[in-house]
Structure 1
């Protein structure tokens, strides 16, 4: 990961010259904006940095292309851009997608909002891709895994045991149709298969077995 980060520092999209330095420099050009990957690839291929600098309300389009190498190979540019995504794990991570568009607008309130929200009071305390997207998503995923492995799986295991017991009874000489009906009743009660009223009518109606999956209140 450190090697990828060092490789990314040599790309034009990571230019930190006059007007583009400091902790929030990544919000001042589209090269770090995940919502604008085509612009990032264009800068990498052309070996040219492009960004916007504001001086007392005046907008200046800045281009720097003398110090970076051009990338002629089309497949190589996405690889270099992917290496630069190692910035995701740095304290400042990357700005929220679309932040560079706000910074380029001729509306000072929006520019200030995009800049200050990403900057934060200290490194990593602002709103960025890691704090705003990755961390909440991972929390949800971990919670879902815990719930499914510790709550759902035991219920499924109990259901399978009941079905196997019913099938074993059928093999032991019990009425096969009754045993199969009991197995289906188990699956219906646990929601594994949909209910079918035709199994509960007529002279061969299936009698309700004790509920193996009782509903828990609270």
Structure 2
């Protein structure tokens, strides 16, 4: 790794998250109004529909259901066979053991209403219980469907409401005996279909209202999808938390932990996790971008360093060439000097040789 300012760890101190604001959409007054409105609707669903004491049982009058009451009164039977109450299951408790009150067995209840028969499991451990009513006036299928729908709707609104769908199926799997936990939930703790419906509607109302609002608001807006999703998560988290406060108040007043809106708690946990995850992902993207910039700077510096090294090598080679040339010129000067000396010696030898020849010629002449 390179030493110097590029590899300095203080680089990471310069990382800024100010650009996070570029990926968020601020909340304005309309957002707050919508959050409070949808949170209030959700809270009302839980408090009104899921009220522990239930609602008043609907009375079928001529004005009921927008004027349909006059026609529906003939279907409001007072002796529906699915409403048989065996000894030990009086009041609304009998609905837990009746096949006709189990929404998983709706058409079984319709058959019983058609032919005047009751079927269910015994509340005192006698297994499956079947009772026929010979004097019952049989009904056709369509009439029996309307009779049962009206009957179950009225039961749904009462304190006991209806048991959670599938309770009698569990009883059949348990040797035709209702499991003890199911009896405690329904009879002792008042955990029934109306309570669950109120909780589910509380969550659904908030989700639908806010999602539709944000969809319409940003339908043609030039806003990043990530920013819209981030804003939606924050608004949903606040609104579910707002409605949850009312649910916690209901739990505190009734001192019944089974009134706790578990689906709403799960939604709060979901959006907390989603917001934290999105925030971490965004920070990772910013750090990665900074690191890429850092890597690019380091690459450029390395290239400059390589170029400088190459230039230094070229300069050194040039200096060496100049020195070699100077050495060669010095050698040439020495050679010329030696050549001059040799030439002088040759001239001296030639003069001496000429003198010797001249003396020899003289002696011959004498």
User: CA 1:82 to 1:58, structure 2 compared with 1: closer, same or farther past 3 Å?
Assistant: closer
Please state if 1:137 is matched with 2:200: yes
Offset of residue 96 of structure 1:
0.6
**Bigger radius of gyration among the two:** 2
* TM value normalised by structure 2: 0.38
Alpha-carbon separation, structure 1, partners of 2:208 and 2:122: 46
Structure 2 counterpart of 1:89 = 157
Residue 58 of structure 1: CA displacement? 3.9
| Matched residue, 1:2 | 59
RMSD, matched Cα? 3.1
Question: Displacement, 1:32?
Answer: 0.2
Give CA-to-partner distance per residue, 1:100-119, whole Å, 9 cap, x none.
122343276x6222222111
Aligned residue for 2:122, secondary structure, equals strand
Deviation at 1:190, TM superposition (A): 4.6
Does 2:249 match 1:156?
no
Where does structure 2 lack aligned partners over 5 or more consecutive residues?
1-57, 61-71, 232-277, 280-366
Instruction: Give the Cα–Cα distance (whole angstroms) in 1 for the partners of residues 206 and 90 of structure 2.
Output: 39
How far 1:35 moved relative to its partner? 0.4
* Contact 1:30–1:100 (8 Å) recurs in 2: yes
Instruction: Return the TM-score normalized by structure 1.
Output: 0.61
Instruction: Check if 1:78 corresponds to 2:141.
Output: no
Task: Tell me whether 1:63 sits opposite 2:131 in the alignment.
Answer: yes
* Structure having the larger proportion of residues in helix: 2
Q: What's the offset of the Cα at 1:54?
A: 5.0
Q: Deviation digits for residues 121-150 of structure 1, max 9, x if unmatched? A: 4xxxx2211112x12221122112331354
Kindly indicate whether structure 1 or structure 2 has the higher relative contact order, using CA contacts under 8 Å at least 6 residues apart: 2
C-alpha distance in structure 2 between counterparts of 1:146 and 1:135, whole Å: 16
* Structure 2 residue aligned with 1:114: 182
Gaps of 5+ in 1: 160-185, 192-212
Give SS of 1:119's match: helix
Alignment of 1:28-43 (within 5 A): 28-43=97-112
* Residues 89 and 123 in structure 2, CA contact (< 8 A), matched pair in contact too: no
